[in-house]
A and B are shown apart, each in its own frame.
Chain A
């Protein structure tokens, strides 16, 4: 086991892109090696040690021996100006006591990330597996496809305890996104698989251009997507491993996309 503690040295000016902050890259490295990893600030590459105090603790044995799944990274402080943390990580644990910048856990395939504060836009973009837990609120494009792609997250779980903004789960193919609060526009746009559960309300465009998968909204939808046709009512529907309570109206859509769409939208009645 190895535990690496990162503390931001001061406020960050031009935003930093630090995809090196990942258990896969930290695993088996000592303090000096981690401090020497290069991050991008604008067009220049600088060592991680310029921005963070690094402390490596080892529970048993040498940190150099720790494998990615035995590596945990603890970040103490606000890193909302640091992007791409945990990008592409495959195993291990990252915990952030503060807010995180854009692209947190983008394309992650395994392991877990917990953010105690808010996360910026594009968190969990194109996620393949693992768990991304945002205890605060999140920006736009969470768990969505990258610009120009129609295939977003394919696996894993994103849990947001606060609210998320627009285009949540855009192009979702698989996996699960649960939002305890509200979402704004175009939640689940171009979704073709997987599950999105919104416990609060949505503004507009919910399930727009959807062709598969499931969305459930427990609160109100302000501007309902016109291409959804009601197909029945269900009491206490079970969506995958998620058990909902109460009566739900079930819709199929989005008929704006084609003549035979297979997306399901559940809206709580009353």
Chain B
């Protein structure tokens, strides 16, 4: 029996750092984690865990020695004319950094989950700028929270209790009673049911609603068609805006309802503009509820190393960025890459069918902890090490704060200590082949 405290949860962007675990043999007992967190911690004792490297030759999959798998992965990358490196969001910044450098070395394209997640939010930040705050700020000061296109009770279950709604902060001593909650969602989600005001807009009209709020803020009446378009009356918009203007410290938490409904980065840009202008009246901040534990990490690492948050192309030796051209979905759909290295992500399940079909045609190597459609189409499967459980490293939390995590056990593989270690071994082999 081994008990550990203050473990960081490697599931969603909340990066809860108060998890307690007891690992004994093939059983793990987890305290403080939500259902999603608990399920991930159970992976460490799962019988599904990939325990050895696998190689596909002429359609037959066989276990292979570690060295051979690394060698074959390096060959796939070195032989290709344009590789795609996909650094999934469920691994450490340290692994992502190696992936980015490997892409630069190869002249490859490199991307991460934000390409199908909050990438448009990052693009909105580039267009408009962002007024942000750490989660602690919002906890201590926030008396108004707006969940826009997000449903934290189901996608980030502890967000309300740890950061935004229920905790007692320095200036919010009475917790929930000191706070007003607004939810903007086409569905009557359980978050909406627990809110003081639910703005039930029609799907894909976020831009029009945000735009109308900005028009009201500028002292004009929006074009009357906006009521029919959004399904929200102008008087309801005024009520919402009054709540926003009269609070002491407001936070908007945007979800994929903004980033992945029609309008995409234009929705995000409008939301950032609204927050910017609300700061003329009161203190207002905005941030994204990031889905995976380190999806924010790739944006941070790629931005500080190479200047762009996702979808980088190194084919000319320097980083280039143009979502829609160098992003993973577009490269695969347009058949504009000829091999892929996929780390800690299941692209075949989550990308459009045309991309999955093309991935099945080209050489693919992947690093993963459990069998999934991506491991099934891969030519090489390297077993993954579970970050925050079996190795140390860094995640970026939803508010872009780096969280260093320490493991409670060690890597089950003698050949690698972490995914970052595996990536370094691949990089060394690629360098040897290209020399």
Contacts and interface: CB of A to CB of B under 8 A. Distances in A.
Interface string A235-270: 000000000000000000011111100000000000
A52 interface: no
Interface in A32-52: 40-44
Interface residues of A, number: 34
Interface in A7-42: 13-15, 40-42
A227 B215 contact: yes
Contacts of A40: 315-316
Interface in A201-234: 204-205, 208, 223-229
A165 to B, nearest CB: 11
Interface of B: 81-82, 106-108, 123, 126-127, 205, 207-208, 210-212, 214-215, 218-223, 225-226, 229, 262-263, 266, 270, 273, 314-317, 321-325, 334-338
Contact of A186 (B82, B215, B266): B266
User: Most A CB atoms within 10 A — which of B211, B221, B262?
Assistant: B211
User: Most A CB atoms within 10 A — which of B266, B314, B316, B336?
Assistant: B266
Contact of B81 (A44, A189, A254): A44
Contacts of A102: 325
B315 A208 contact: no
B312 to A, nearest CB: 13
**Closest CB pairs A-B (n = 8):** A43-B107, A42-B82, A226-B222, A256-B214, A226-B226, A226-B212, A256-B211, A255-B220
B324 A121 contact: yes
Nearest to B220: A255
B338 A226 contact: no
A148 interface: yes
A256 B215 contact: yes
15 contacts: A13-B335, A40-B315, A42-B81, A43-B316, A43-B317, A147-B123, A185-B262, A185-B266, A186-B266, A204-B262, A224-B223, A224-B226, A226-B215, A227-B220, A256-B215
Nearest to A189: B266
A107 interface: no
A249 B226 CA distance: 17
A228 B126 contact: no
Contacts of B321: 147
Given A42-B107, A223-B229, A255 B215 contact: yes
A13 B211 contact: no
Contact of A147 (B106, B210, B322): B322
A40 B107 CA distance: 12
Contacts of A205: 207, 263, 266
A228 B205 CA distance: 16
Given A41-B81, A255-B218, A255-B220, A226 B266 contact: no
Contacts of A225: 208, 211, 223
A104 to B, nearest CB: 13
Contacts, number: 107
Given A42-B107, A43-B106, A229-B223, A148 B218 contact: no
A227 B273 CA distance: 14
Contacts of B317: 43
A42 B223 contact: no
A169 to B, nearest CB: 14
Contact of B223 (A122, A140, A208, A228): A228
Contacts of A15: 334, 336
Given A14-B336, A121-B324, A259-B219, A227 B314 contact: no
Contacts of A256: 210-212, 214-215, 218, 270, 273
A208 B338 contact: no
Contacts of A255: 214-215, 218, 220
Contacts of B220: 227, 229, 255
Interface in A118-134: 121-122
B223 A227 contact: yes
A185 B324 CA distance: 16
Given A186-B263, A256-B218, 10 more contacts: A13-B338, A42-B315, A43-B82, A44-B107, A102-B325, A122-B325, A185-B266, A204-B262, A227-B223, A255-B215
A226 B229 CA distance: 10
Nearest to A167: B266
Contacts of A257: 214
Contacts of A227: 211-212, 214-215, 220, 222-223
Given A147-B126, A223-B208, A258 B315 contact: no
